[in-house]
Structure 1
Amino acid sequence: PPHLLTDFLIFICLSSALGRCQLAQLLQELDGYRGYSLADWLCMAFYESNFDTAAKSVNADGSTSFGIFQINNRLWCTDERSPSENLCRVACTDLLTSDITDDIICAKKIVRHPQGMDAWEDWAMHCKERDLSEWVEGCDV
């Protein structure tokens, strides 16, 4: 039925997920940032949020992570539910929009800390010390 196609197209338009190459273009300036490749960033974003800019998840410790990089409200952003050091000086809800500029700025701050990308458990588990070349394949970056 024709309405199924319309519903599908509306869903695509409302989707908050970025494509891998679309994200690669946005993150291009991070290639080599603090020793991490563009592929590291793509792999991390995939395993953290499946490239979903509106991702929000509650963690085992009761904290909440927000956005494409799953930035945690315990340290990095502030929300109405819990006190935070808010090291990124950003509202957690701002990390849920399709404009990921503030997410990138905050993620760069996180990477500057001693843990680096190990701050993201999913990156450490799925991406660290692996051949990640497939993440940028065909993306023209």
Structure 2
Amino acid sequence: MRTQSLALLSLSLWVIIISSSFDAVLSKRYMRCELARKLLQQHGFERSLLPVWICLLEHESDLDTAKITANPNGSSSYGLFQINTRYCQQDRRGGVCNIKCEDLLDENLRESASCAKRIQTSEGFRHWNGWQRYCRNTQNLPNLKVICGI
């Protein structure tokens, strides 16, 4: 009986270690310039809008792909772009962007970037509170040309 308990405890510890390692691989907290380059080069974001996106993402998610926010209206917002549950569905593909909300937490930004651009095209940056509070004023935007050489 004691041997079984010890074996179960050992197995549980391995599951925890593997799970925490797995999460660390999937999520990421970006540095400002690293993210700006990735959005520009790999995801086709417009260079002229890049300072707005970086400001927005710094205030919405602190550049962390693993961020989940519970909103006062009962919805949640996921990932780097803090995409609301009306654009994704938990546990299966769905919503306006036809994606799983959990996929928005991945450091691979393909689906989250595509959905964010779709939201911005249809609703503008006003969709995000971070833009309304902090990034609407162009004086608050980072000068990526000076800071990052972009």
Give TM-score, length-normalised by structure 1.
0.78
Higher relative contact order at CA 8 Å, sep ≥6: structure 1 or structure 2? 1
2:53 aligns with one of 27, 41, 45 = 41
Unaligned stretches of 5+ in structure 1? 1-13
Counterpart of 1:76 (choices 87, 98, 104) is: 87
What value does the CA root-mean-square deviation take over the aligned residues? Answer: 2.1
Q: For structure 2, list consecutive stretches of 5 or more residues without a partner in the other structure.
A: 1-23
2:121 to 102, 112, 128: 112
Which contiguous aligned blocks of 4+ residues in structure 1 show a shift greater than 6 angstroms? none
State how far apart, in whole Å, the 2-side matches of 1:24 and 1:85 are: 28
Given that 2:39 and 2:45 are in contact with CA atoms closer than 8 Å, whether structure 1 keeps it comes out as: yes
Distance in structure 2 (CA, Å) of the matches to 1:126 and 1:24: 18
Q: Which SS does the other structure have where 2:36 is aligned?
A: helix
- Asked which structure has the greater CA Rg, the reply is 2
Map 1:1-141 onto structure 2 (within 5 A).
Answer: 14=24, 16-28=28-40, 29-31=44-46, 37-73=49-85, 75-80=86-91, 86-113=95-122, 115-136=123-144, 137-141=146-150
- What amino acid does structure 1 have at the position aligned with 2:76? T
Report deviation, 1:24.
0.2
